[in-house]
Chains A and B, each alone.
Chain A
Amino acid sequence: MPGANTYTQGPTFHEGGLNKLSTNDYLVLAGTFHGYVSISHLLPKTPSYANNSPKKSVHAITARLNPVKSNPDGRPLSNSSTIPGVPGGILTRPEPPSGLEVLESENFRLQCFNTLTGVKFLLFTDTTQTNVDVIIRRIYELYSDYVMKNPFYQLEMPIRCDMFDRKLLSHIREVNNR
């Protein structure tokens, strides 16, 4: 599974709300969540095959959700005209974001933002929080500016960038004060 190990822990906020967790807890949570997302990738595929529904639509769905996997009965996916010009059903462009996006409980709401490269941003918010996707997009923006353009950041390593922490904190403050 591409992107299965891209977990990094950003700064944590506990300004009157969630309890602070240890790094390990975050890793465990992230791992659990990734498991859920992987399962949710497979969900629409399994019942479709079981129901033996028309092949074409099945291909369309599986190609979108999981382009690397080939058809279990051995036929290459490119036979059906869903993804033309791709030998063996392997796409070269990144997998479009799919899978679990929002998880709601009575106490909180978990929003997941999946980037094209497979980085997942998880944001825990109050259930009444609005415009979560805007907030999380802005965080993604900050991440790509202050982490990815920082020569001292090493990929796959925990984020330790002062500037990112500062900008993220002021962004979150701004959101909380609205």
Chain B
Amino acid sequence: MSNHLPASGGNGSHGARAGDSGLRYPSNGKTIYHRPLNRTKTAELSKAAFAYLFAEMVSYAQRRVTGIQELEKRLNLQGHPIGLKLLDLLLFREPPRSQLRPLNIIALLHFIKINIWTHLFGRQADRLEKSSNPDTPDEFMIIDNEPLVNAYISVPKEMSQLNCAAFAAGIIEGVCDGAGFPARVTAHTVGDTAGGSNGSGSGGTGGTGAADGEMWPGRTVFLVKFQPEVLEREALIGNKS
């Protein structure tokens, strides 16, 4: 945004400077997009406030659906636009050199695991895995041991299929769609069945102990299933280089 300043604009003054249009551009090149709206020291939001909001979002969605699948679909749809916008915002905040959007699947998943997760939840996702099943080379897994969105949610037994992290799955889906990697993302609870056995670590992550399903009862796997054309393109790129 600071590029809009005329080059002869005498940019030596400290702080903000009034342009011709009356708009003020900061001289350090940081625009309002570079920092969060809240100015607290850590720029964090209240977890309780989010928990209440999210609880209301879930019950709002729940009042309008008949089944669990439909409920997850709704939560997914609530997250989708967030992901789309977040991709643009976080890429914009990167230093200019690395503002490229991810060009292959691994880079995309790393971007999600590291940048998106850190921005949203203040830490990275716990693991990244590729499906070891040869029939489904289009499936990747992002694993979070205790998703923040589920922090206070106990799903009743009759709805044990449900995982409210479908909302976070929607965010991931939005990021994938926005980056040009159309995918379907679903959230699954893998409480006691340790998910470590069915995947080989991809991209240098993964490979932690598999027997910690007991330790993390709320562990959630985000299953990212890319559309066939994404895999096709990936294969073409891979062959060229």
Contact = CB atoms under 8 A, between A and B. Distances in A.
Interface of A: 145-146, 149-152, 160-164, 166
Interface of B: 48, 51-52, 54-59, 62, 152-156, 159, 164, 217
A154 to B, nearest CB: 9
Contacts, number: 40
A146 B56 CA distance: 14
Contacts of B152: 145-146, 149-150, 163
B156 A151 contact: no
A56 to B, nearest CB: 41
A163 B156 contact: no
Contacts of A145: 48, 51, 152
Contacts of B57: 151
Contact of B156 (A146, A149, A152): A152
A146 B48 contact: no
B156 A160 contact: yes
A145 B151 CA distance: 9
Contacts of A146: 152, 154
Nearest to B58: A151
A10 to B, nearest CB: 13
B65 to A, nearest CB: 13
A161 B154 contact: yes
B154 A162 contact: yes
A66 B51 CA distance: 34
B48 A151 contact: no
Given A150-B55, A151-B59, 4 more contacts: A152-B159, A160-B154, A160-B156, A163-B153
Most buried by A among B54, B156, B159, B217: B156
A162 B217 CA distance: 11
B240 to A, nearest CB: 49
A150 B159 CA distance: 14
Contacts of B217: 166
Nearest to A165: B154
Nearest to B159: A152
13 contacts: A145-B152, A146-B154, A149-B55, A149-B153, A151-B54, A151-B57, A151-B58, A152-B155, A152-B159, A160-B154, A162-B155, A163-B153, A166-B217
Q: Across the A-B interface, give the 9 residue pairs with the lowest CB-CB distance, nearest first.
A: A151-B58, A149-B152, A161-B154, A151-B55, A149-B51, A163-B154, A162-B154, A151-B59, A152-B156
Contacts of B56: 151
B149 to A, nearest CB: 11
B72 to A, nearest CB: 14
A150 B150 CA distance: 9
A7 to B, nearest CB: 20
B74 to A, nearest CB: 13
A166 to B, nearest CB: 8
A163 B54 CA distance: 17
A69 B55 CA distance: 36
Nearest to B48: A149
B78 to A, nearest CB: 13
Nearest to A152: B156
Contacts of A152: 58, 153-156, 159
Contacts of A163: 152-154
A150 B56 CA distance: 9
Contacts of B153: 149-152, 163
